[in-house]
Structure 1
Amino acid sequence: MPMPRTTAPNGKPIAAFAFTGYWLPVTIFSARFCMVLATAYTFSFAQPLWLAVGSLAVPMAYFAWKNLATLGAGRRVAAVALRVLVVLVLAAAMARPAMVQHNDALTLITVVDRSLSIPADQQAKGRNYVAAALKNHDSDDRLAVIDVADGAMIARLPGKIADATTAINERNTSLGGTQTRLSAGLQLGLAIAPPDTAVRMLLVSDGNETAGDVRETARIAAANGIPVDVLRLGYDYSNEVVFRNLVAPVRARSGQTIPLRFVLSSVGRTTGTINLTLRDDSGTEHEININPGGAGSGMPVTLVKGTNVFSVSVPVGVRGMHEFKARFTPAGDDQDSLPQNNSASAITFVAGPGHVIVADTDDKAGEKIAQAMKVAGIDVRRCNAHDFPDRLVDLMACDAVVLANVDCASLSMEQQEMLARYVTELGGGLVMTGGDSSFGAGGWIGSPVAQVLPVDLDPPQKKQMPKGALVLVIDHSGSMTGQKVECAKAAAAAAVRLLSTRDYLGVIAFDSEYSWVIPMAELTDKDAVYRKISDIGAGGGTDIFPALKAAYEAVKKTKAGVRHIILLTDGQSAGADCRSLAAQMGKDKITVSTVAIGDDADLNLLAAIAKSTGGRFYPVQNLKNLPQIFIKEAQIVRRSLIVEEKFTPKITFGASEIVRGVPEIPALDGYILTGRKGGTSQVILATPTADADPVLA
């Protein structure tokens, strides 16, 4: 039998021939691919010092080779090689390898100023200069053109340059040309910059920006690696006036007098007249007389070189959009070169007549405030805090809200959140006056309203002040299962929220026995307290005395100025011991307020405990009232924030409109302790002490 042929006709072995024939195209392709990568990309390490970690592979390989002597030769080599490979890969990964793509193509985004203030011959020179520069462009370069004046428009999207002489057309007639918003042009250029080429921006302008901030936009471009070149178009007007801006308030009330400011710039001394017109919602346009007692309705002005500012006050009429237009007319045609830039406009939204709501809880605290506002001609509407609006739409026509010694418990959480939105979203005013039921003493600490007040209701740690102590004694017997215990836990959390981080707090849960959920200590971590309160369950009998005695002994040991206990239960308990304990607590000036849930609670016993200690008794049928009761009771502890001493406040911010023109600040008999909030909040009056506690902010 003949042997199979092992050579090809050219004499090479068949196996070698087959190998070469198969791998040769692959090898050629791989070589070409590597050449393309080497040409288009650069391989580098962002943190090359980490490559030094790879040197650890040498000693590691040495010790691994010695320690793995029991393995076979093949397994030994594989194990050492794998470990070395892992070290090298980790070193390379920590060095942050990067492959950077090279691209020699450039996109030039040209922002052309099309405002009417630039003479036509200067605009033509700018176009010709750019066209001449583009003649030397590479074939892969691209060009984009953006026209800018009153706004910015794309005249040409990024694309290859076919004819440099027609790359930039003449003026875009769709732009008004009365304003120059260079920053808008650069911003649009950043938006259309292609990611696959290098990018430069060229600003062709006289540099006279009338709106926006081109410097800030240029800084943003630089931060994105896009340089901005400037081709300045220089020219000289012997006489030129530009109406830079008409400044008007965004909002006003019907019948209100608002200030308007005219901002003009001039290259020299010029005289003329400013005329003002108003267009309302009906489309009717009429001229406003801003020259009372003079000839004509226009205001005669004399402009000097540079910026000139003039102010007038005008009344606004019915509600709606009011568009003001101002125009400068020179005294002679030779005093101004371009009349197109001699006007400016502004819009003011005029709302209906507004009013101020003054809320209190006793119909007395807000009486004098309301009288003073009425004397000043302000429309005042008084209401009891319990009748305060509960819909944001009801405050739309309200200019401000005054809370005259209103405690936190008088407003629901929904009303508090609504009031905060009224300030932050609608720009409404909020005034909180001092009193024993306001600020921190009124339980506002941690509330939504506290976030929008200009003072910190929880005074700083360094402030020396009397501390308060509160113990919550909560029944969690079997009869409290379900909604009762859940409402009790929510009420307890609401009370904790009102306390300062320097107050003492303890929480006891009891059935037939008691346990400390929160041992008596300073309230340093409210979140931890909330979590532990939420874990309270229900089950067992009811025995009030041991729990109440433990609360008494704990609160008695504290060095607090105000010591208070809140007892909540729905069941019966032996009364003799509780009554004698209550009498002792009354002697020690420890108050106890009791909350009875339902008709099964021992109402007589709970009422007697509250009466003996000077506390309050609450028979509760509606569980939804529990949080408000606990909030009201927690305010007793915050009485330590009330400072009762006679003093005369000092002015700390005399530039405020509130105290400007006030000849003398009257003496006060006390204040509610608060802290400085910082930020944009400004303390206007403070105590004359070294701490300078806020009095008016």
Structure 2
Amino acid sequence: MNLTLLTPHYLLLLLVLPGIVWLFWRSTTHLPRVRGVLVLVLRVLMIALVILSLSGLSVKNPTEQVNVMFAIDASDSVGEEGREQVLDFVQHALRLMKKGDRAGVVVFGADASVEASLQVTPEVKKLASTVPGHATDVSHALELAMAQFPSAGKKRVVLLTDGNETRGHAQDTALVAQSLGVEVWSVPIGTNSRATDVQLDRVMIPSRVSMGEPLEVRVVASAQQATPAHLLLFRDQHLLAEREVELRPGKNSFTFLDTLEDPGLHRYEAIVNAAADPIAENNRVIAFADVMGKAKVLILYGDEGPPEELARALEAQGLAPELHRGTELPTSLGELLKYDAVILDNVPGLGVSLAKMDVMEKYVRDGGGGLIMLGGDRSFGPGGYHRTPIERALPVNMDVPAKMTIPSLALVLVIDKSDSMGGYIGDASRGSRPLQGITKMELAKMASFSAITLLNPFDQVGLVAFDTDVQWIIPLTEAGDRERIGAKLSTLTHSGGTDIYKGLLEGFQALSRTKAMKKHLILLSDGLTPKADFQGLVGQITQQKITVSSVGVGEDADKWLMAQIAEWGQGRYYFTNDAESVPRIFTSETMLVSRTLVEEHPFVPSVRQDHELLRGIPLTTLPALRGYVLAYPKPAAEVLLVSDKADPLLAVWRYGLGRTAAFTSDLRGRWGKAWVEWEDFGKLAGQLVRWIQRKTPRQSMWVDVAVRDGTSRVTVDLYDDHEQFVNQARLSGTVAVSGQATAPLAFEQTAPGRYEGNFPINGTGEYFVTVSGEDSAGGGVGPRTVAVAVPYSSEYIPRLPNLRLLRKLADLTGGQVLHLADGAETLSEIFQVAQDGHRPPHNVWYLLIFAALLLYFFDIVARKLPPAEEWLGRLGIRTSLFRRVAGGRLARPQSPLAGTAAEGIAAREAAQRPKTGLPESGAVPSGELYVARLRWRNSSIGSRRTFPHHGRGG
């Protein structure tokens, strides 16, 4: 067993120990000599124990067991060749293990995985673990490796990496390793072979240009050696130019000229291709240019075709409309930010994925864009927009209350529960986000419950499931008992084959027995079914005034049959290969059958409140409309126009940085023909679009975004109309990136008119930064949106091994730096224990403090305990007996009074006096004691002679 001090600098306190000893000696002069020495020794020991406890006295227990975890960098910067060299190194080291040693392997990149757990005989013939290689997280690897160690034994992590971490903070983790007694031994490895690598560094363009202004696009490429390459430049995903180029070693710059006639945000992308290029990930760069000009409006339309009259009216108002089908709604925020406003003209919501709707919501809330939804039989609630991101952005709710007629509706859900319903669906090509881990069966249960929650409590609902047989999961019951319905729904499981006919027949028979005013059947299936007389059965169903809608799920569904059943049943047919659409279909279908969603009758709109977008419009001559979709205004919405039944017709509000509007009638021939032909139609449409469109900042605002070392710095320069700095503005921002939540951005003023903020770069992608706020006078600033792209991880930037970091990790933890070329003698040190090899030192400070407290107790006893004669007397024991026990000698006085030389003289004279027959008390008369003291004092002064005594002179 060895001892060590964790904080030895506290031993400097021993320098003051002689002074403390002197003070203690002075304080014990009134005590008898033996007792004083005892107190002094106790106090010195007590102080020494306290100093040792402060110094961290610890016990080290030697051990021969060594635990080693090899952490292997498998990121893309290392490459296959580097991984093979590392594997050879580890295999060679494992062959040098001693008996009793244990080893394991961790593989890491962007994540970390245990390749081989800590064991006596690990076998690592090849790396079986697969980790993402687009990043290097050394910190995570160290944490996972340390988690494998037991409490006893030597602990070492052998880190084999190039040290170019792109995530985490390895030095912070090394400090944790140091505190746990874990050594980190670093082994630098070469980066991926890049002798023939070609890389694009950036594409340089002005962030803002005027419409029609010539634009210079500069592409910067790097090469390790001279090589030919093919360079392509795209604008908004369309090929703009391509060029065969000769790359020289180092930086190469190529210039292209372009002219932008379209206002809005434009995306440039450069791609380079070269022979023998080992890394394709760094061959692509992206930049954005914002073109100032006319406000650009994206008009998306449904099956009725493009609204030409609306487009002409907006163009006459100085706007730039662009017509596209609703299915062409952009999938990225960057594409949407090209437009200042978006109009949805009767676009079916079920044809738009929730991912696209999320982008639309971000466009308004975070990008400051404008959104208008126009009415129609495929819009708002009838179109399937209920409970979607677009509904959140609009100023109206689409959940129209159902009428409380008893009973008003009976709904039976006929659900396929065959084995195939245990599978999954999802089509990434449509921009959807499949619900991971959710089977078709679970989706059907979610959809069914969503539909049931829309029914009023007095409606009747039932659910019959079928495979080759039928089973009532929920017999027809009132929809109000949702807790019991949910419990029964949870018991639905998949098994067996598919027989749609039996399911339809069972549902029909149940509905035929109810007296509900409206009866509806929703069929869901994902597979094929035996042939049967479906047309005859559905004919009987419709004769009973029961309607049937059908939902085909997945590519294996019998689409033709499902469509025919819906047509014969006078209902609606839906097909989806998008998991998220299944609940939306059931919700939309239930709303259509349980509510009145459309009002169709002629009426003249009324003005509910005045508003700036209505100024200059002759509101007393508004034309008549012939119908609208029912919706209800949200609390913060402004309702400008209403129907003859006081239902909202035109409502607006602010949503985040943007604005939205809901016009519940259409601007086509079905309901709004008179409006389209109205002479002030163009003016009203133009003013509505200009009110909701993204605003142009009144001030001159220049926003620059620069990315460096995983952090992006946003710099805003703000000027007024006179080109003077705008100070003390209160700016804020948002950062939006696809697939991630929008993050807030704070700014601080760092110079006159300059404001700066930072945000972390969390992976590759296109980051859209929107800045807005108020100036010192309370006026609005912005919004202004800029974009920055991170096309590839810094993992793919050519770099040498980070030797500085690897040495730092070893130095912090007491490890070493090895090399792949080291021989067996050096590698064997990995499993060797130095002479001071030990388990983690065990600090015994608490034992030292306990011992010091114990000594303090003895110190008190030694100072305060009365003389033996006194405490024996108190116990009733005669001193004569004590003397006899002591051998007939006079007991030495122990009290301070009896401890002087005079007391000794008085005691001897009393002993020589003739006995009087009085009992011996052992006490010396006070008068004799006084005389004895005088004699002793006089003789001491005269002759400087000291009488024999048992104490020290006081």
Shorter-chain TM-score range: 0.3 to 0.5
Q: Scaled by the length of structure 2, what TM-score is found? A: 0.33
Q: Which has the higher contact order (CA 8 A, sep 6+)?
A: 2
Q: Which has the larger radius of gyration?
A: 2
Q: Scaled by the length of structure 1, what TM-score is found? A: 0.44
